[in-house]
């Protein structure tokens, strides 16, 4: 595969989640003003919805490129920029550059480029991605790959403080975005494929001092679990987890290298003062080496933001046998569930099930397949909360050195980290999905600190057609989901996995990007495609929107990579070595805005996109994508 150059695209013409006094006042005010895109999800609830409606179902077809910006960095570009007033804050993959970009003058105000040891790169599992920045009280927060959490002055780019979050020499690295809740910035850790023991930590936004740290597995006190007060869903009710709830489910000291890392998206309910997030796969991928439920990997968590105390925890995939990381976003909404008004948490897990829980106590309310191809389990037992597994697809029952074939979904999941959106107008969730299956062969692996600790080989391929409208061989869908009933409302097939974060708006639109480089807008009610634009590279970034000088813009990074595009990102030659990276920006403006463009960085010799039919904006990038 050829190494490709990447671009970021912005196009233009959120319901801000409810904000209480407990939230960070400055950030809450920035979020409330829908002209900004002040947080990675646009709000605290992870809804990824905007109140902006200048671009709507009637005029979205008139979107044109406004401007482009090259980050000058190759590899996959995930997450999105932040927009605070007249300033856009742009991040990149390793080496994790940050640009402050003046939207009035279309020029760089400052640039931060950390000096990181390149030895960090081979410790990163699935491309050198970074999922974005956080903002609060005049500070920009960056979680670097080398685990340094950095606070920058938003006006000057100068470093205010730095906190070390892990040890890359042991495989502990970071790819996630930090999240600001109240006076703390929360961050997690990556490295489950290196035997890193997962945790979430809170740092004071002003000093960088660690306030608390809670592990995913191990002794109660280290997880910040109270055996009598922390609850879980079991036997049809919410009950205390009991003493040593994690230790009892591991063989010996395997929990010390047990994974459960925390590299996803976090949400926050100010009324409950609770943060919500998920934990990843247990280590190793060979289940024979870690018998037991491996709690609390593969779980949904609610923690008190002030103390880190665990309110409740629910495990989705006990004794994970397929690498179904549970880190995907937790979307908070107030919806009707089975006819009852509910303060809900909705989660689309990699295991292929869409979950709705009562976020106040962790009660399980809905658990249904959001891709009909899912076959490793027939369903979820609503009394126990455990999946009803199918022996044929059990890599544990089939044993090490046996290739278990045709497991759906693949380890990529029916959805990976690419975040879904919730539209409070339609009361539906809009979900970018993968439609991929796998063959999975575990094998024995020895742990060596700082070295990969995987213990399985697998191959991936398109799942069978999920509906009459889906062609055989297609690998993704963009769906609308009813979280109250657990049903697909409509589904739009795509050729490749949909690896872009979704956005919904008051204009009745749902936006997303595709791996072949299209940013698309569909009618949120029907799924009908209303507009698309071909960017120079595949899209794995999250679509965002903002308003500047009375005009709405919609934007996205165009730069293929991540797990879906690692083959291209790393210059691999064999299709089985990876699925699909590089970085820049195209911006499309509402209506007949005069096309303007600006570019910096490398490779000006790259050709203008031949597929650019919406305007004459130079997106200096090349693109190609391996066939499924």
DSSP 584: E
Return the number of other C-beta atoms located less than 10 Å from residue 201's C-beta.
Answer: 22
Any idea what the Cα angle at residue 30 is, between residues 307 and 49, rounded to 5°?
90
How deeply is 103 buried, as exposed, middle or buried, from its count of CB atoms within 10 A (0-12, 13-18, 19+)?
A: middle
Separation of alpha carbons 619 and 68, rounded Å? 6
End-to-end CA distance of the chain: 13
Separation of alpha carbons 377 and 391, rounded Å? 9
Please say whether the beta carbons of 622 and 536 come within 8 A. Answer: yes
Spacing of C-alpha 168 from chain mean position: 22
Residue of 127, 146, 269, 323 marked active site: 323
User: How do strand 274-278 and strand 267-269 relate by DSSP bridges?
Assistant: antiparallel
DSSP 247: G
Residue 423 a catalytic site member: no
Separation of alpha carbons 231 and 246, rounded Å? 13
Cα 85 to Cα 29, 169, 601, distances in angstroms: 12, 40, 25
User: How do strand 551-557 and strand 363-369 relate by DSSP bridges?
Assistant: unpaired
How deeply is 347 buried, as exposed, middle or buried, from its count of CB atoms within 10 A (0-12, 13-18, 19+)?
A: buried
Separation of alpha carbons 177 and 81, rounded Å? 11
Among candidates 187, 180, 79, 68, which has minimal Cα distance to 127?
A: 79
Helices (H) and strands (E) in the chain, counts: 4, 41
Query: For residue 567, which phi and psi values (nearest 5 degrees)?
Result: -60, -45
Please say whether the beta carbons of 103 and 547 come within 8 A. Answer: no
| Residue 520, strand partner residues | 512, 532
Among candidates 59, 114, 82, which has minimal Cα distance to 541?
A: 82
Query: For residue 246, which phi and psi values (nearest 5 degrees)?
Result: -90, -50
Separation of alpha carbons 534 and 582, rounded Å? 16
Give the containing element (helix H, strand E) for 202. Answer: strand 199-204
One DSSP character per residue, 354-370 reads: EEEEETTTTEEEEEEES
Give the containing element (helix H, strand E) for 462. Answer: strand 456-462
What sign results for the dihedral spanned by CA atoms 154, 158, 164, 167? positive
What sign results for the dihedral spanned by CA atoms 221, 224, 229, 230? negative
One DSSP character per residue, 261-305 reads: ---S--EEETTTTEEEEE--PBS-S-GGGS-S--TTSSEEEEEET
User: How do strand 49-50 and strand 503-505 relate by DSSP bridges?
Assistant: parallel
Spacing of C-alpha 250 from chain mean position: 28
Which positions are catalytic? 323
């Amino acid at each position: 595969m050829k190494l490709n150059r990447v671009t970021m695209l912005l196009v233009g013409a959120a319901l801000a989640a409810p904000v209480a006094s407990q939230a960070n006042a400055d950030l809450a005010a920035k979020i409330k003003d829908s002209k900004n895109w002040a947080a990675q999800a646009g709000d605290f609830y992870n809804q990824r919805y905007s109140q902006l409606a200048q671009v709507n179902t009637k005029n979205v077809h008139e979107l044109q490129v406004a401007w482009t910006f090259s980050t000058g960095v190759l590899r996959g570009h995930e997450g999105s920029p932040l927009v605070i007033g007249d300033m856009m804050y742009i991040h990149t993959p390793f080496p994790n550059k940050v640009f402050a970009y003046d939207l009035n003058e279309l020029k760089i105000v400052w640039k931060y480029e950390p000096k990181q040891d390149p030895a960090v790169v081979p410790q990163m599992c699935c491309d050198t991605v970074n999922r974005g920045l956080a903002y609060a009280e005049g500070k920009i927060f960056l979680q670097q790959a080398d685990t340094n959490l950095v606070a920058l002055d938003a006006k000057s780019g100068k470093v205010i403080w730095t906190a070390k979050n892990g040890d890359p020499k042991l495989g502990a690295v970071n790819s996630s975005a930090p999240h600001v809740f109240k006076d703390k910035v929360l961050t997690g850790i990556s490295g489950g494929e290196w035997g890193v023991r997962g945790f979430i930590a809170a740092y004071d936004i002003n000093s960088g001092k660690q306030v608390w740290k809670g592990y995913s597995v191990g002794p109660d006190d280290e997880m910040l679990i109270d055996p009598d007060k922390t609850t879980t869903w079991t036997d049809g009710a919410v009950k205390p987890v009991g003493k040593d709830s994690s230790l009892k489910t591991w063989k010996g000291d395997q929990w010390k290298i047990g994974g459960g890392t925390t590299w996803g998206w976090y949400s926050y309910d100010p009324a409950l003062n609770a943060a919500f997030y998920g934990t990843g796969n247990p280590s190793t991928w060979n289940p024979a080496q870690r018998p037991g439920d491996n709690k609390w990997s593969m779980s949904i968590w609610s923690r008190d933001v002030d103390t880190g105390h665990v309110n409740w925890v629910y495990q989705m995939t006990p004794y994970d046998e397929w690498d179904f990381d549970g880190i995907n976003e937790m979307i908070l909404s107030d919806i009707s569930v089975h006819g009852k008004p509910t303060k809900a948490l909705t989660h689309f897990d990699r295991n292929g099930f869409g979950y709705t829980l009562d976020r106040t106590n962790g009660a399980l309310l809905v658990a249904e397949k959001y891709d009909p191809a899912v076959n490793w389990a027939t369903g979820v037992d609503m009394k126990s909360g455990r999946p009803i597994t199918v022996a044929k697809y059990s890599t544990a029952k089939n044993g090490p050195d046996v290739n278990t074939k045709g497991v759906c979904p693949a380890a990529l999941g029916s959805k990976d980290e690419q975040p879904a959106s919730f539209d409070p107008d339609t009361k539906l969730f809009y979900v970018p999905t993968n439609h991929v299956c796998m063959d999975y062969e575990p094998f024995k692996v020895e742990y060596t600190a700082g070295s990969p600790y995987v213990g399985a080989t697998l191959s991936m391929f398109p799942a069978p057609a999920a509906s009459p409208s889906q062609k055989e061989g297609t690998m993704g869908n963009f769906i609308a989901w009813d979280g109250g009933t657990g049903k697909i409302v409509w589904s739009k097939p795509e050729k490749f996995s949909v690896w872009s974060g979704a956005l919904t708006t008051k204009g009745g639109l749902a936006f997303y990007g595709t791996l072949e480089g299209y940013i698309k807008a569909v009618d949120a009610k029907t799924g009908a495609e209303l507009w698309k634009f071909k960017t120079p590279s595949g899209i794995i970034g999250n679509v965002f929107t903002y308003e500047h000088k009375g005009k709405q813009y919609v934007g996205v990074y165009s730069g293929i990579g991540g797990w879906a595009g690692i083959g291209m990102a790393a210059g691999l030659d064999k299709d089985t070595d990876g699925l699909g990276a590089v970085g820049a920006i195209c911006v499309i403006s509402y209506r007949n805005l005069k096309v303007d463009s600006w570019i910096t960085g490398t490779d000006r010799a790259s050709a203008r996109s031949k597929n650019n039919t919406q305007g004459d904006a130079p997106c200096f990038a090349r693109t190609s994508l391996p066939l499924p």
